[in-house]
Amino acid sequence: MSISVGDKLPEATFLTMTSEGPTQMSTADVFDGRKVVLFAVPGAFTPTCHMKHLPGFVTHAEALKSKGVDSIACVSVNDVFVLNAWADQTGSKDVMTFLADGSANFTKAIGMELDASGVGLGIRSQRYAMLVDDGIVKVLNVEEVASTAEASSAEKILAAL
């Protein structure tokens, strides 16, 4: 069963890159006492993620923050090194936090896994965006089709604020 509006995010651990190297962050580190926009992509550098989904959150970051969002986080079932390279290449490292969920533990815990084995990608995350306030899901927009980034766009989250 997948997570719903009103649910508390489960305990999980992500990896994120710092100047000292990979560092663990818990859901408490990311979400407790904060209003966070979390969006998930099936894979860094994949066409829709790279050219449509991520750029929207970069473009609208200041507008989201002006509406009371403390931070923006991107989660993907990729390793921390791939996410760090993607953050560097897109120039978005200072705009948001990249959360590597390499083994899909968080993704599975919230029921958002996507089996992309048929195209050689293994288990990934569905494409979604959510507004999380102090660990509680307030808005959840899930794409019906993973190759689109409309329901889970930054514009849709912005409109919900």
**Contact call for residues 74 and 56 (beta carbons, < 8 A):** no
Task: Say if strands 71-76 and 21-26 run parallel, antiparallel, or are unpaired.
Answer: unpaired
CATH class, 13-160 region:
alpha beta
How buried is residue 82: exposed, middle or buried, by Cβ count under 10 Å (0-12/13-18/19+)? Answer: middle
143, 156 contact by CB (below 8 A):
no
160 in Cβ contact with 39 (< 8 Å)? no
Q: Could you report the per-residue pLDDT of 86-100, keeping only the tens digit for each?
A: 999 999 999 999 999
Judging by beta carbons within 10 Å of its beta carbon (0-12, 13-18, 19+), is residue 161 exposed, middle or buried?
Answer: middle
Residue labelled with tokens 């999980």: 12
CA dihedral (100, 79, 25, 141) in degrees, to 10, reads 10
DSSP state of 8: B
pTM assigned to the model: 0.93
Tens-place pLDDT, residues 2-56: 999 999 999 999 999 999 999 999 999 999 999 999 999 988 888 777 788 899 9
Tell me which of 49, 73, 114, 137 is the catalytic residue.
49
For residue 11, give both structure tokens.
Answer: 């305990």
Q: Which amino acid is at 146?
A: A
DSSP conformation class of 161: -
How many helices and strands in the chain, by DSSP H and E? 7, 9
Active site residue 74: no
pLDDT tens-digit series, residues 127-146: 999 999 999 999 999 998 87
CB 114 within 8 A of CB 16: no
